[in-house]
A and B are shown apart, each in its own frame.
Chain A
Amino acid sequence: MRPADDLLVRALRAPEGVATLSLAQWDRLVRQARHAGLLARLHGRLDALGLVDAIPDPARWHFEAATTLAHKQQVAVRWEVGQIRDALATLDGPMVVMKGAAYVIAGLPAARGRLFNDIDILVPRRLLNQAEAALMLAGWHASGLSAYDERYYRRWMHEIPPMRHLRRATVIDVHHAILPDTARDFPDPEKLLGRIVPVAGLPRVYVLSAEDRILHSATHLFHDGELPHGLRDLSDLDLLLRHESAAAGFWPRLVARAGELQLGRPLFYALRYARHFLATPVPAEVWDALRPAAPSPLLLRVMDGMFSRALAPLHASCDDALSPLARQAAYVRAHWLRMPAHLLLPHLFHKAFVSPWQDAESPRAA
């Protein structure tokens, strides 16, 4: 596997090391962390360990500004979740907040220094139309997708097209499952909904259970092709795992739940690459228990080659000759897992040859 020795990864794994960085290395570290969306999180880590004074003056404001933004986003996310809840007040079922916004409202360490692009929610499939109509009434509308993308979402995806608020421009992703129906493994959303947890201080709002939250994060990262934020999501997983593993019986519960939801494989990858990049502690018996879910040695070598590059910070200074290929392969793989070949090939053809042409012809923003 390509060693995980990029500056950012090293700083997250062993923050004490920043004390010896040269100014040129700080230049690279700031750029890598900004691209990975991890400036504020790294700042928080350095702050917690009393290491902020190691940041040289020219670099300091970059960290402070990112932390300012992260604080603001946490307040905004909390408020926005309240708005969504009010919009969905008449929904005949639970509203479940997932991913980053869930870490914030559940008060988890994974919320620290987290930056947001959107808020993910899950509603029971039978209530999807009702939820969409209620959100539209409150000002969220499907954002400008091409007719092709719109059809693609509606027909094949586990979420409806992203909805953007007319005035605040906040974006919600409304899901009815965590993977598309066409995916090779399809964790039953009813099982997830069966274990949801209410949120203190936010009546009628739920989050996934601790194990399901980790499995969803792993699935999103390793099945969904969400790689632009790959290292940030891996860092989320690292923080979630370190936090939850303090609870007695956590690891056996996690492995058992992965089996129930057919998500052993993404959990295996999540633990493998969290350990590789961020030295996440995983007990030996967990690897034994996950052996049936592990890929063949040959496939694993391919995956290692791919993910050790595709999950590195998305910055030119972290790339080697194979990085672009690895990212491309990860993108295709995620699609391969989501839909059978007779659907996938026309889709990738459209994305490669038709969409760029349409984008180039569409009117440009100022």
Chain B
Amino acid sequence: MKLLQLPHAELRERLRDTGIWLRTGPFSLQIRSRVPSVAEGLAELYGQFEVRHPRETFADFHVEVNAPGALRRWLRPQVDFSFDGQLPFKPLPYGQAYPMLEWGLNWCVSMHAHHYLVIHAAVVEKNGGAAILPAPPGSGKSTLTAGLVLSGWRLLSDELALVDRRSGMIHPLPRPVSLKNASIPLIRAFSPEAFINRPSHDTAKGTVAHMRPPKESVRRQHEPARPAWVIFPRWIAGATTALTPRSPAQTFMFLAQNAFNYSHLGADGFRTGTRLIDEVACYDFAYSRLDEAVRTFDRLADAHAGAD
């Protein structure tokens, strides 16, 4: 059963009570919350995801987003993210409950899923080739990801590249795409099909909103993809679109530094990383216009389809 088939009243009831069981990529979640904006966010963004009976017996992560103590409810109301009773973060203002859930879920994966090499990067796929987009904040990674998945690319992940340590394949985790500040109106203007939820203001990252993942990406969320490119996007005002090859060795070093668990995996982290680099072409990518950026990526994907 999909989440959108659940009446909203029942969704809220379950969230308050037993929790809602949700499957995202390889992970099953049990989410509980009494906060209305969390129920609203889930209903708007996770409609295509599979839910099961609340008595479902096993979940990888049991999480909760709720207001702490009674006093706080009136004085500067806040919310806590709880991972099975443990609070990894300081509380945030009540209005940021939904983004806190998304950040908390990212934390759950990056802190525990050591059966993957987990790299801080977006991943999109077309014609059987996955493009890994690692980038520091502010480089326009999420904007580009949103633009690509609204133009026929498949969303694997907006934040976490899960590299299978045995097969080298990338496993999808197509949760909502996080958009910040100017990206929000930009993506709204880019595609009328984009659904973006109500923004949360004044977060640590500025104004944040989430874009619903494409239906097709969610339908194929158990289908891994073979890595084909590692591309470092950089949005530069007024820049002409330019894709330039970069050193695989430097790319490897960057990926290792930007993996959440590279050092945890020891020699196997090195093997997984070098194998990935051997399989892909590495590029720097400068852009200022999203439609041109998408066309450049499409040409790569066409060439990839031809090569297969």
The residue of chain A having its C-beta at the shortest distance from the C-beta of B113 within the complex is: A65
Q: What 1/0 flags go to A186-201 for Cβ under 8 Å of B? A: 0000000000000000
- Which residues of chain B are near A316, meaning CB under 8 Å? 84-85
- Which residues of chain B are near A68, meaning CB under 8 Å? 114-115, 264-265
Contact A75 B266, CB 8 Å, known A24-B57, A365-B90, A366-B204: yes
Q: Give Cα A364 to B100, complex, Å.
A: 15
Q: Give Cα A31 to B113, complex, Å.
A: 15
Q: Which of B58-66, B209-217, B276-284 contacts A (4 or more CB under 8 A)?
A: B58-66
Contact A27 B59, CB 8 Å, known A69-B264, A72-B266, A75-B266: yes
Number of A-B contacts (CB under 8 A): 50
B90 touching A62 by the CB < 8 A rule?
no
Within 8 A of A (CB), among B11-66: 28, 57-60, 62
CB distance from B194 to the nearest CB of A (A): 27
Query: Which of A56, A61, A364 touches B90 (beta carbons < 8 Å)?
Result: A364
Q: Give Cα A263 to B14, complex, Å.
A: 52
- Which residues of chain B are near A72, meaning CB under 8 Å? 263-266
Contact A59 B58, CB 8 Å, known A35-B85, A72-B264, A366-B204: yes
Any chain B CB within 8 A of the CB of A204?
A: no
CB distance from A102 to the nearest CB of B (A): 22
A22 touching B90 by the CB < 8 A rule?
no
Any chain A CB within 8 A of the CB of B167?
A: no
Q: Give Cα A264 to B54, complex, Å.
A: 51
Q: Give Cα A68 to B112, complex, Å.
A: 10
Q: What 1/0 flags go to A47-84 for Cβ under 8 Å of B? A: 00000000010110110111011011001000000000
Q: What 1/0 flags go to B65-104 for Cβ under 8 Å of A? A: 0000000000000000000111000100000000000000
Contact A31 B115, CB 8 Å, known A72-B266, A315-B84, A316-B85: no
Q: Give Cα A61 to B58, complex, Å.
A: 13
Within 8 A of B (CB), among A185-242: none
The residue of chain B having its C-beta at the shortest distance from the C-beta of A68 within the complex is: B114
Interface centre among B58, B114, B266 (most CB of A within 10 A): B58
Any chain B CB within 8 A of the CB of A34?
A: yes
Q: Give Cα A61 to B28, complex, Å.
A: 12
Any chain B CB within 8 A of the CB of A153?
A: no
Q: Give Cα A365 to B266, complex, Å.
A: 29
B84 touching A31 by the CB < 8 A rule?
yes
- Which residues of chain B are near A56, meaning CB under 8 Å? 58
Any chain B CB within 8 A of the CB of A19?
A: no
Within 8 A of A (CB), among B241-275: 263-266
- Which residues of chain A are near B86, meaning CB under 8 Å? 35
Interface centre among A64, A66, A68, A316 (most CB of B within 10 A): A68
Query: Which of B85, B90, B113, B264 touches A315 (beta carbons < 8 Å)?
Result: B85
A58 touching B85 by the CB < 8 A rule?
no
The residue of chain A having its C-beta at the shortest distance from the C-beta of B103 within the complex is: A366
CB distance from B226 to the nearest CB of A (A): 21
- Which residues of chain A are near B204, meaning CB under 8 Å? 366
CB distance from A339 to the nearest CB of B (A): 29
A61 touching B115 by the CB < 8 A rule?
yes
Within 8 A of B (CB), among A314-366: 315-316, 364-366
The residue of chain A having its C-beta at the shortest distance from the C-beta of B57 within the complex is: A24
Q: Give Cα A69 to B260, complex, Å.
A: 12
The residue of chain B having its C-beta at the shortest distance from the C-beta of A39 within the complex is: B112
CB distance from A79 to the nearest CB of B (A): 11
CB distance from B108 to the nearest CB of A (A): 11
Contact A65 B57, CB 8 Å, known A35-B85, A72-B265: no
Query: Which of A26, A58, A71 touches B266 (beta carbons < 8 Å)?
Result: A71
What is the interface of chain B, defined by CB distance below 8 A to chain A?
Answer: 28, 57-60, 62, 84-86, 90, 112-115, 204, 263-266
Q: 12 other contacts beyond A56-B58, A315-B85, with CB at 8 A cut-off?
A: A22-B57, A23-B57, A26-B58, A27-B57, A35-B86, A58-B58, A62-B112, A65-B115, A66-B114, A68-B114, A68-B265, A72-B263
Question: 22 pairs across A/B with beta carbons < 8 Å?
Answer: A22-B57, A23-B58, A24-B58, A27-B59, A31-B84, A35-B84, A56-B58, A58-B60, A59-B58, A61-B113, A64-B114, A65-B112, A65-B113, A65-B115, A66-B114, A68-B114, A68-B264, A71-B266, A315-B84, A315-B85, A364-B90, A365-B90
What are the 3 tightest A-B residue pairs by CB atom distance, in nearest-first order? A65-B114, A24-B57, A364-B90
